[in-house]
């Protein structure tokens, strides 16, 4: 009589796994789209200082990074422990910053140039002398939008 009569003979039906690849693909595409691959290997150790008044850096494609810190341990034998600047994949001197900004600009669309930001990722123990030099070079290169990279937190 009842339509929902239990059919003891059949037992538990196996869950269909036919849609599993679809689910996995969905997740896969999500991660593929959100992934930003680390493009540079850090040669300098950077622990950014803490701050509370922070803003998020939007449009990662328009951000160029300048790393400042003392070389990582395996580099210390050849480069010493004094703070150094890293641009892309190599150590650089202060004079190379203008050139770096120029190449970064060339890689972008002309319309996007005013929105370009330079993120200064400097270690908290670095002295201001080197930062000031970098800032002066950025001013010369007319790359005025900067961002001091910090972590969220208080001292």
Partner 1 sequence: MASKRRGLPEINAGSMADIAFLLLIFFLVTTTMDQDTGIARKLPPMPEEELQEDDSQINAKNIYTVLINSQNQLLVEGELMDISQLKDGAKKFINNNGIDPNSSENPEKAIISLQNDRGTEYMTYIRVQNELAAAYTDLRNNASLNEFGERYADLNKTQMKEIRKMYPQKISEAEPKNIGGDE
Residues near partner 1, by CB under 8 A: 17, 20-21, 24-25, 27-28, 31-32, 34-38, 48-49, 51-57, 60, 63, 117, 119, 122-129, 131-132, 135-136, 138-140, 142, 144-152, 155
Q: How far is the CB of 103 from partner 1 (least distance, A)?
A: 20
Q: How far is the CB of 7 from partner 1 (least distance, A)?
A: 28
Q: Which is nearer to partner 1, 2 or 119 (CB)?
A: 119
What is the spatial distance between Cα 138 and Cα 140, in angstroms, rounded to a whole number?
A: 5
What is the spatial distance between Cα 122 and Cα 129, in angstroms, rounded to a whole number?
A: 12
Q: Which is nearer to partner 1, 91 or 150 (CB)?
A: 150
What is the spatial distance between Cα 122 and Cα 148, in angstroms, rounded to a whole number?
A: 8
The residues, any chain, with a CB within 8 Å of residue 124's CB and separated by 6 or more, are 47, 48, 49
Token pair, residue 114, equals: 């005013």
Q: How far is the CB of 131 from partner 1 (least distance, A)?
A: 6
What is the spatial distance between Cα 151 and Cα 65, in angstroms, rounded to a whole number?
A: 16
Q: How far is the CB of 94 from partner 1 (least distance, A)?
A: 13
Q: Which is nearer to partner 1, 81 or 151 (CB)?
A: 151
């Amino acid at each position: 009589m009842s339509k929902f009569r239990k059919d003891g003979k059949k037992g538990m039906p196996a869950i269909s796994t036919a849609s599993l690849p679809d689910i996995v693909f969905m997740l896969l595409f999500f991660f593929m789209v959100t992934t930003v691959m680390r493009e540079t290997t850090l040669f300098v150790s950077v622990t950014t200082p803490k701050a509370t008044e922070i803003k998020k850096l939007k449009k990662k494609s328009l951000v160029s990074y300048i790393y400042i810190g003392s070389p990582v341990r395996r580099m210390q034998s050849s480069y010493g422990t004094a703070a150094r600047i890293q641009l892309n994949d190599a150590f650089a001197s202060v004079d190379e910053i203008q050139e770096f900004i120029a190449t970064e600009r060339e890689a972008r669309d002309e319309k996007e140039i005013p929105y370009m930001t330079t993120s200064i990722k400097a270690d908290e123990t670095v002295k201001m002398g080197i930062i000031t030099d970098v800032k002066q070079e950025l001013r010369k290169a007319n790359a005025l939008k900067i961002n001091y990279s910090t972590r969220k937190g208080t001292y």
